[in-house]
């Protein structure tokens, strides 16, 4: 009986740890959903066909977005075209966003955290921050919306924390492209 109880406790502890990893937001993505994955790989992972918003665009648009359910949470996926020939390409993931309270960073920052908690957790990283703007001309600063960006050590990715009324309301992991790319 004691052995069965011990095995049951080990099983529950390992399943809880696996669930935490499913929602761990890092500079690489969320859980198994990783930056650099192709659209086809993501469709297999989430068991659904992704509907790209600009799929019929034959012009100069190289970026696209889709929404999906990953492990019961809503995510917005940012894609970019990768050409394999002059007219042949596939879409690959360059960023993602979620507002799920299940997601937390490796440092424990998540939905509901405040600016000081972000700065305390990521003080060793380069951080940029400031208010968001209410208009497209960038002349009216928001009094309620704020953004904190935490860059990776190699400056190739960043986590973007969007705050509303001083609390994290959404988190993004995005690829940072240099001017040469």
Q: Kindly report the CATH number assigned to the domain that includes residue 147.
A: 2.60.460
Q: In the prediction, which pLDDT does 9 show?
A: 41
Residue carrying the six token digits 């990776």: 152
The answer to the question of residue 111 being in a domain is yes
Q: In the prediction, which pLDDT does 57 show?
A: 58
Asked whether residue 1 carries a pLDDT value surpassing 90, the answer given is no
Asked whether residue 12 carries a pLDDT value surpassing 50, the answer given is no
pTM of model > 0.75: yes
Q: How many structural domains compose the chain? A: 1
Q: Which domain holds residue 169?
A: 18-175
The answer to the question of residue 82 being in a domain is yes
The answer to the question of residue 50 being in a domain is yes
Q: Work out the pLDDT band at 84, boundaries 50, 70, 90.
A: confident
The answer to the question of residue 11 being in a domain is no
Give me the percent of the chain exceeding a pLDDT of 70: 83
Which is more confidently placed, 147 or 88?
147
Give the pair of three-digit tokens for residue 127. 């951080």
Answer whether 70's CB lies under 8 Å from 30's CB: yes
Q: In the prediction, which pLDDT does 52 show?
A: 87
The answer to the question of residue 150 being in a domain is yes
The answer to the question of residue 39 being in a domain is yes
The answer to the question of residue 10 being in a domain is no
The answer to the question of residue 79 being in a domain is yes
């Amino acid at each position: 009986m004691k052995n069965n109880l011990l095995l049951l406790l080990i099983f529950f502890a390992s399943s809880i740890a696996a669930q935490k990893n499913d929602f761990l937001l890092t500079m690489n993505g969320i859980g198994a959903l990783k930056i650099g994955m192709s659209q086809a790989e993501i469709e297999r992972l989430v068991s659904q066909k992704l509907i790209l918003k600009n799929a019929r665009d034959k012009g100069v648009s190289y970026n696209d977005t889709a929404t999906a359910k990953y492990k019961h949470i809503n995510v917005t996926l940012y894609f970019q075209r990768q050409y394999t020939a002059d007219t042949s390409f596939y879409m690959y993931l360059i960023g993602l966003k979620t507002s799920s309270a299940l997601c937390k960073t490796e440092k424990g920052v998540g939905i509901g955290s405040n600016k000081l908690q972000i700065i305390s957790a990521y003080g060793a990283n380069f951080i940029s921050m400031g208010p968001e703007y209410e208009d497209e001309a960038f002349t009216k600063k928001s009094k309620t919306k704020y953004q904190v960006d935490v860059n990776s050590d190699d400056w190739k990715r960043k986590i973007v924390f969007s705050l509303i009324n001083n609390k994290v309301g959404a988190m993004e992991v995005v690829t940072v492209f240099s001017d040469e790319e």
